[in-house]
Amino acid sequence: MAIWQGRALRKISGGRIRMARKKRKYELGREPVYTHIGDRRMKIVRVRGGNYKIKVLRDIYVNVYNPQTKKTEKAKIVSVVENPSNPHFAQRNIITKGAIVETSVGKVKITSRPGQHGVLNGVLLQ
């Protein structure tokens, strides 16, 4: 069944709301994309307005910003240490915004949204 971002079909009281119209294409939602560790794989999806959204399915590298040197470098991801959005994501090595990953340069907090932006950016933690 499709994900629908429109109005609920029931009231807070549990009573049914009779719809005055059908569902619209712009109310359509999609399944979330969970980014894993592995060889780079992306998915391009056409969205509203004819634009495109690049979703990262798998990636092994992250762009790491070092606040002390104020420089960015590419680092290899080893594993996901912690993920505040869901504790089970760390066990499954799923990368989302806010996830802390272990890299070749140290622990990095992800600042981008890989399922939306198509890139993995992060800040080095001291």
Region 102-107: what's the mean pLDDT? 96
pLDDT attached to residue 126:
79
Q: Does residue 125 contact residue 106 with C-beta atoms inside 8 Å?
A: yes
* Residue given tokens 């609920």 in the structure block: 8
Q: pTM of the predicted model, to two decimals?
A: 0.83
pLDDT one-digit tens code per residue, 6-37: 888 999 999 999 999 999 988 989 999 999 99
* Residue given tokens 């272990």 in the structure block: 102
Helix (H) or strand (E) holding 87: helix 87-91
CA distance 63 to 66: 10
pLDDT one-digit tens code per residue, 44-86: 999 999 999 999 999 999 999 999 999 999 999 999 999 999 9
- Class of the 34-124 domain? alpha beta
